[in-house]
A and B are shown apart, each in its own frame.
Chain A
Amino acid sequence: MYGDVANKLVLEAKRTDQLANGSATLQLPMFQDEMVRVILKEVSQLQRNAEYLKMQEDGGKLSKCQYFVTMLCMERNKRCLLAYQKTRSEILDAIAWENNGLDTMDLLSNKGQDSGNLSPYEQEYLREYSQLISDLTAGELMDIDLAGSLTPPSDVFIDVRVLKDAGEIQTEYGVFNLIKDSQFFVRQADVERLIQQGYLQKL
């Protein structure tokens, strides 16, 4: 029946949502290209039906009813498609905020492992949304690190341990020589980004 594939797509959206919000790292499963195409095909078929019914135009109750039901089927498909896409775009937004606001703006290319899962439109959307974020952070709110950590600061100085080798890394406040398993006592504000990127572990 019409709308069955759309239902499957919504189930997929639900799974995506749980996958993204259940785990610690945001991840996006493959875009369901196949299903979307089938639904779109269904919609164009419905559209042909509607046009045909309109052409007949005998004004009978029967054709009016048929026309209405066809419209409802299209509405349903549209709703499911939009719900799926919205779920994915929200996760994309979260990814953009989490990663791309960091001091290395070229993370987008670094995050290439995900881009295979995105549809071309989503890739473009992600790029432009990241651009919007960097516009915002570079605007009049430059003093505040909008993409920074959302946990309120509690300690000024913290102990951190280096989790993976990164060589000499330049932060805005000085140079660290990050050797694996070495330990530092540093200002939290200096290393927050490195913690977010997974180089350091807070103790």
Chain B
Amino acid sequence: MALPRNLQDTFSLQEVQFLVENEPIKIMPRITTKPIRRKAASTPSAVSSVRWKLITTDDHNVNNMVAMSSTEVSLWLALLLKQQGKCSIVAPAWLTIKQLDSFLEFELQNASRFANLPWNWLIIAHLLFQKAADDFRDPVHILRAKIQDLREARLGKIAKGLQHLNESHLQLDNLSLSEINEMRPFAVGVMDKLRDIHAAAADREQYDNDI
């Protein structure tokens, strides 16, 4: 087949990351791309001449960056600029010790619910820790530990939730994309089987009643 079997019924981790990289994020640029309107003292031709322009499909912000004034671009671009030292990434509001602590508390107190983390928290945290570790206000090793704690708390709940798998539905509020992605093949497979069995039993009953 054109599509390898391991990609046929779920996303790979890289694909999830690719999806997440389309999200906007705040950055502090260190370069200015906004066309500077100089006072036309010397020559009229120098007025607002655009020297170069970044052509992208959807970011009008890219061409209006002013150094050290925050703007919003998509994550992949932010990471690219960060790699070259042309911006610093502003950590999202939920990625602070205080906020993570409150999430963690929620996780520990509510055994049957998941905290309201953003749908891409795991990937975002991973990417930012990896590539923008110097941009955090809080020490990164503590943030890492908190993320790990959250992950483990949620993993426990997911494992517990799997015993409620049934043939009709499953409610997964606030579960993030990567967490859903890793349980998808198992949960979908089991639910399909259960549904098949139930449907066959229902058919049989119908058949018996008809006779």
User: B12 contacts which of A21, A90, A94, A151 (Cβ < 8 Å)?
Assistant: A151
Query: With contacts A150-B7, A156-B80 known, is A93 near B1, CB below 8 A?
Result: yes
Residues of A within 8 A of B14 (CB): 151-152, 154
> Closest A-chain residue to B1, C-beta based?
A93
Interface check A31, CB cutoff 8 A: no
A154 to B19, CA, bound (A): 11
Chain B 67-83, CB-CB to A under 8 Å as 1, else 0, gives 00000000000001000
A33 to B106, CA, bound (A): 64
Interface residues of A in 111-157 (CB under 8 A from B): 146, 150-152, 154, 156
A76 to B128, CA, bound (A): 57
CB distance from B169 to the nearest CB of A (A): 31
A151 to B14, CA, bound (A): 7
A150 to B4, CA, bound (A): 9
Assess the B3–A150 pair: CB atoms within 8 A: yes
Interface residues of B in 168-193 (CB under 8 A from A): none
User: B2 contacts which of A21, A93, A154, A156 (Cβ < 8 Å)?
Assistant: A93
Interface check B94, CB cutoff 8 A: no
Residues of B within 8 A of A146 (CB): 2
Residues of A within 8 A of B12 (CB): 151
Assess the B4–A152 pair: CB atoms within 8 A: no
Q: How large is the interface on A (under 10, 10 to 19, 20 to 34, 35 or more residues)?
A: 10 to 19
Chain A 76-97, CB-CB to B under 8 Å as 1, else 0, gives 0000000000000010011001
CB distance from A158 to the nearest CB of B (A): 12
User: B5 contacts which of A21, A154, A156 (Cβ < 8 Å)?
Assistant: A21
Residues of A within 8 A of B15 (CB): 152
CB distance from B66 to the nearest CB of A (A): 25
Residues of B within 8 A of A97 (CB): 1-2
A156 to B80, CA, bound (A): 9
Interface check B17, CB cutoff 8 A: yes
> Closest B-chain residue to A21, C-beta based?
B5
CB distance from A91 to the nearest CB of B (A): 9
Interface residues of B in 1-29 (CB under 8 A from A): 1-5, 7, 12, 14-15, 17-18
CB distance from A113 to the nearest CB of B (A): 22
A94 to B1, CA, bound (A): 5
A93 to B7, CA, bound (A): 15
> Closest B-chain residue to A133, C-beta based?
B2
Q: Which of A90, A93, A151, A156 has the most CB of B within 10 A?
A: A151
The 7 nearest A-B residue pairs measured at CB: A152-B18, A151-B14, A97-B2, A152-B14, A93-B1, A21-B5, A152-B15
Listed A/B pairs (22) with beta-carbon separation below 8 Å: A21-B5, A90-B1, A93-B1, A93-B2, A94-B1, A94-B4, A97-B1, A97-B2, A146-B2, A150-B3, A150-B4, A150-B7, A151-B12, A151-B14, A152-B14, A152-B15, A152-B17, A152-B18, A154-B14, A154-B17, A154-B18, A156-B80
Known: A21-B5, A150-B3, A156-B80. 13 other contacts (CB 8 A): A90-B1, A93-B1, A93-B2, A94-B4, A97-B1, A146-B2, A150-B4, A150-B7, A151-B14, A152-B14, A152-B17, A154-B14, A154-B17
